[in-house]
Structure 1
Amino acid sequence: MPNTALVTGASSGIGREFARYHAEKGGDLIITARRAAELEALKSEIEADHDVKVQTIALDLGSPEGAQELYDQTKGQEISILINNAGFGGHGAFTDRELATDLAMIDLNVKALVTLTHLVARDMAKRGSGKILNVSSTASYMPGPLQATYFATKAFVSSFSQALAGELKEKGITVTALEPGYVETEFAARADLDGTDLTKSGATPRSVAKYGYDAMRRGELRAINDGRLRFMLNWIVPWLPRWTVLKMVRRMQEKSV
């Protein structure tokens, strides 16, 4: 499978659009998520529309052995692009939330991403080429009252991605962190964010996937799809007092209904 991309969280949202866009470029795919039916439907659609091959792997990437199991099922295939898209968030005060849910969030958003990246990047390094795209968030730029764990996981993803980019550049591998704002996907409903200011307007999954994929191809370090957010996060938010930032973020995440 030449020019093969491995896309996690591919059954819906941005992940599904990553898969479609890569196929449009003529690349083969390995797509994974928990929902087998959705993966098979996407495989049928893509293979009908494009002259590419699609392999589906249905599993729980956040389980203790999920990343290793995924890697084991792809052994022997040359993965040119790794897109770590799988992840979830959750609304509410940290002490009111179930600890098990936040630990599961860390397992998927951080531990699985680190494990899969380590396994795949070693193979890329041996070949001397490869591209990695880690889906982070604008949440990585600030702490997030009422989504404390989620924001922290994305800060990790962005920091980790940049450090890897510095390490792997000499081995012919680029690493990009895609940092979108709110995107119109299933994420908001699953994270219980409906009714907050965060969800008043957002980008389409297609536009975000295309922006991130193209940034990855160019080898960019960080990619924010929204120009207004890019300006605010790089030139305004860093100069604001921390308490001001905390209050601002909390207001955006408080329920209006």
Structure 2
Amino acid sequence: MPPEETATRIDGPASAAVPRTPRRLRHPDRFRARYGPWALVTGASSGIGREIAEVLAAAGLHLVLVARRRDVLLTLADELTDRYDVQARVVDADLATPAGVDAAVAGSTDLDVGLLVAAAGFGTSGSFLDADPSVEAEMLDVNCRAVLTLTQRFGRRLAVRGRGGVVLLASLVGFQGTPHAASYAATKAYVQALAEALHVEWKPLGIDVLAAAPGPVHSGFAARAGMRMALAARPADVAAPVLNALGRRGTVLPGGLAKLLTWSLRPLPRPVRVRMMSVVMRGMLDESRTPDPA
């Protein structure tokens, strides 16, 4: 891979060093009645996906856990079933491939899934001209094609049952073009637009759709993508606010930093926002190349 570009999969190694705190939904019984009994979570092996899985388990929902690494998923499944007395099924699948998407769908066909959380993602940063075309294409498959297929297939199932929910992980960078993360931001713009449209289109069907657009989050993404985000939130601080917003709004900005960044940029003309995001991204990339003091 060219030195100016780095990439990471959100469902990569878990951030075990990040302190863990209890997480709860505001109304777990009501949430379970509307979106249970089963939820399917992609990207469940680490980061936001893992935290969302734990919040759902604490609320009493059974889980289908989807990611690439079966050993990590099995460990997580054991932890959640022991701690919260729920059932958990593991599906190891690479969502960059059609076969992986098919496996994620097939792994739950016999279950009454009422909630899809599409948290798996893949990001790059750096020079677009130096980017590896195969990596960029793979990111498009994971962030867009897999989301499209999973959302449509599970949406059909939810429409038949007459109730349910879909949570799609977007990002603040998807609200405008973001230089130095151009492809990644473009994929998240697709997710944001899709969720906004389906939030309205599927409401009469009894399906709640939510776009979750967090700001910087300590999920292993920044370090492996060659960026530094000192003010990033913890995944544990993002998961519950996202789920609590489902059925109440179309987009949620979890965390104070996400709200601050969005509100400060929103009044500006779009070209100005793009230029400001260029400065922000360049700063994070430059910082990441500056050695920490001894």
Give the whole-Å Cα distance in 2 for the aligned partners of 1:241 and 1:163: 23
- Per the alignment, residue 239 of structure 2 pairs with 209
Q: Residue 226 of structure 1 aligns to which amino acid in structure 2?
A: G
Q: Residue 188 of structure 2 aligns to which amino acid in structure 1?
A: K
1:135 maps to 2:169? yes
Give the whole-Å Cα distance in 2 for the aligned partners of 1:24 and 1:232: 31
1:109 maps to 2:139? no
Give the whole-Å Cα distance in 2 for the aligned partners of 1:72 and 1:228: 38
Q: Residue 71 of structure 2 aligns to which amino acid in structure 1?
A: A
Q: Residue 224 of structure 1 aligns to which amino acid in structure 2?
A: L
Give the whole-Å Cα distance in 1 for the aligned partners of 2:220 and 2:119: 13
| 1:144 partner SS | coil
Give the whole-Å Cα distance in 2 for the aligned partners of 1:94 and 1:33: 27
| 1:65 partner SS | helix
Alignment of 1:76-115 (within 5 A): 76-115=110-149
| CA offsets 1:126-170 (integer angstroms, 9 cap, x no match) | 110111111111112121100001111111111100111111110
Post-superposition shift, 1:189?
A: 2.5
Q: Residue 48 of structure 2 aligns to which amino acid in structure 1?
A: I
**Structure 2 stretches of 5 or more lacking a match?**
1-35
Q: TM-score, normalised by structure 2?
A: 0.81
Post-superposition shift, 1:229?
A: 3.6
| 1:177 partner SS | strand
Give the one of 226, 248, 252 matched to 2:255. Answer: 226
Is the Cα contact below 8 Å between 2:91 and 2:103 reproduced in 1? Answer: no
Name the structure with the higher helix share.
1
The range that moved more, 247-256 or 141-150, is 247-256
- Per the alignment, residue 125 of structure 1 pairs with 159
Shift in alpha-carbon separation, 1:228–1:85, aligned structure 2, 3 A:
closer
- Per the alignment, residue 64 of structure 1 pairs with 98
Shift in alpha-carbon separation, 1:232–1:204, aligned structure 2, 3 A:
closer
Give the whole-Å Cα distance in 2 for the aligned partners of 1:41 and 1:155: 33
| 1:95 partner SS | coil
Q: TM-score, normalised by structure 1?
A: 0.93
Give the whole-Å Cα distance in 1 for the aligned partners of 2:123 and 2:204: 34
Q: How large is the Cα RMSD of the aligned pairs? A: 1.5
Give the one of 203, 211, 228 matched to 1:177. Answer: 211
- Per the alignment, residue 56 of structure 2 pairs with 22
Shift in alpha-carbon separation, 1:242–1:176, aligned structure 2, 3 A:
closer
Is the Cα contact below 8 Å between 1:8 and 1:84 reproduced in 2? Answer: yes
Give the whole-Å Cα distance in 2 for the aligned partners of 1:32 and 1:84: 10
Alignment of 1:29-40 (within 5 A): 29-40=63-74
Identity score, percent: 34
Is the Cα contact below 8 Å between 2:237 and 2:255 reproduced in 1? Answer: no
Q: Residue 45 of structure 1 aligns to which amino acid in structure 2?
A: E
**Structure 1 stretches of 5 or more lacking a match?**
none
Is the Cα contact below 8 Å between 2:202 and 2:208 reproduced in 1? Answer: yes
